[in-house]
Amino acid sequence: MFVITDADLVIHDLEAKNKKLILSFLKTTRPDGIFFNIKQGFMSKAGIPDIIGCYRGRFIAFEVKSNKGQLTKLQSVILRLIKQAGGICEVVRCLFDAKNLLNTIPE
């Protein structure tokens, strides 16, 4: 169980800042999990969540957004498909959201 602090509730205006904080935290979950930052570019597939990984044997994905960021239609479809396939995924805007999601996964 991850402890939630007041600092975890901070939502930054820049998505990149939120992503950096969340990814930094996720790297501390080992050996329970492993996570990767998915960079978008020429060789990537559009709509794939920003951070994907495996935590306690479950596929998990985080679509990181800023305080005003919205999902595209494609991102919504991809998140729905991940859930239909048995994966866990959510939109996260701060460390609080990421910890809450991880806390729902049984040990």
Is the full-model pTM beyond 0.85? Answer: yes
pLDDT tens per residue across all 107 residues of the chain: 788 888 888 888 889 999 999 999 998 877 789 999 988 777 778 889 999 999 999 999 999 999 899 999 999 999 999 999 999 999 999 999 999 999 999 88
DSSP state of 25: H
For every residue of 30-94, which 3-state class applies, written as one string? CCCEEEEECCCCCCCCCCCCCEEEEECCEEEEEEECCCCCCCCHHHHHHHHHHHHCCCEEEEECC
User: Which CATH code fits 6-103?
Assistant: 3.40.1350.10
